[in-house]
């Protein structure tokens, strides 16, 4: 799999930066008249899968659709209120599932001489993820729009941050390559097929991007278990994928 072009990188970054600006502006609406408290937060996404739009953007034209999936865990500190919204700054770790990222094929045909059959150099490259994960820092907001019977909240979850890409891509290439072999007397020669079998491991930061934007936009609900403890569920975009997330927020000193 080749490196991302600068055009692809710009197409990927611009809409996300715009959404991050929106998220920062939306956080101003989260202020509540209820006293706020410092909070400890934790969240877990058991499984996310790559968004179709990101899959199309990253996939090579001569290969199968790129495949990315994994899980996510975060822990952080912030501030919020029992019946209002909250914010936090968290450490995020997003491990990717090991396995095939993409399979691509290539064929280059030529005619050695007039009236001779066509020969084709062919190759199949299988790229696989090995121990890949993102880790970084993310700022998140829960914007509560409505509270039902002082127990259930519904709203929007927004997060934006920055992470590093870690781990390897294993690139296995197989196929056939025709090479010209001259006759011993240097009078002409012939093309002979040579098997291609290459196995290479490269850092994913060198193959894709060393840094990655973290972004969440989710429909989020919260159950107030006690004035100090909230359990949350959310579903939506967790860039570069989408999935279901569960979380806990503990408000220190809330009664």
Report the number of distinct structural domains present in the chain. 1
> Please, are residues 10 and 17 in contact by the beta-carbon 8 Å criterion?
no
42: domain CATH number is: 2.40.160.20
Which domain, by its residues, includes 39?
6-251
Please report the pLDDT score of residue 59 as a whole number.
74
Q: Judge whether 1 lies within some domain.
A: no
Q: Judge whether 238 lies within some domain.
A: yes
Mean pLDDT in order along the chain per 10 residues (255 residues):
41 46 41 80 94 78 84 96 94 95 90 85 93 95 92 95 94 91 78 91 87 91 96 93 95 92
Q: Judge whether 58 lies within some domain.
A: yes
Q: Judge whether 134 lies within some domain.
A: yes
Q: Judge whether 71 lies within some domain.
A: yes
Report the distance separating Cα 79 and Cα 2, nearest Å: 43
Please report the pLDDT score of residue 152 as a whole number.
95
Please report the pLDDT score of residue 17 as a whole number.
45
Q: Judge whether 114 lies within some domain.
A: yes
User: If we measure between CA atoms, which residue out of 136, 98, 130, 148 comes closest to residue 203?
Assistant: 130
Coil, helix or strand for 250?
strand
């Amino acid at each position: 799999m080749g490196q991302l072009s600068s055009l692809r990188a710009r197409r990927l970054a611009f809409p996300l930066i715009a959404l991050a600006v929106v998220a920062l502006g939306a956080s101003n609406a989260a202020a509540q008249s209820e006293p706020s408290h410092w909070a400890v937060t934790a969240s877990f996404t058991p499984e996310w899968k790559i968004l179709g739009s990101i899959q199309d953007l990253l996939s090579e034209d001569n290969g199968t659709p790129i495949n990315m999936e994994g899980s996510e865990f975060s822990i952080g500190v912030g501030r919020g209120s029992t019946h209002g919204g909250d914010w936090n700054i968290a450490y995020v770790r997003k491990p990717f599932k090991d396995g095939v990222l993409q399979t691509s094929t290539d064929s280059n045909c030529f005619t050695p001489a007039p009236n001779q059959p066509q020969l084709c150099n062919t190759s199949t490259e299988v790229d696989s993820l090995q121990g890949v994960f993102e880790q970084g820092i993310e700022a998140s907001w829960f914007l509560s729009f409505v509270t039902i019977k002082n127990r259930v909240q519904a709203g929007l979850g927004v997060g934006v941050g920055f992470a590093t890409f870690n781990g390897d891509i294993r690139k296995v290439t197989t196929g056939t390559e025709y090479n010209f072999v001259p006759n011993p007397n240097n009078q002409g020669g012939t093309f002979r097929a040579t098997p291609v079998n290459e196995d290479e491991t490269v850092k994913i930061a060198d193959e894709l991007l060393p840094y990655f934007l973290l972004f969440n936009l989710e429909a989020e609900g919260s159950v107030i278990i006690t004035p100090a403890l909230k359990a949350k569920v959310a579903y939506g975009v967790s860039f570069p994928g989408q999935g279901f997330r569960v979380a806990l927020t503990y408000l220190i000193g809330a009664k």
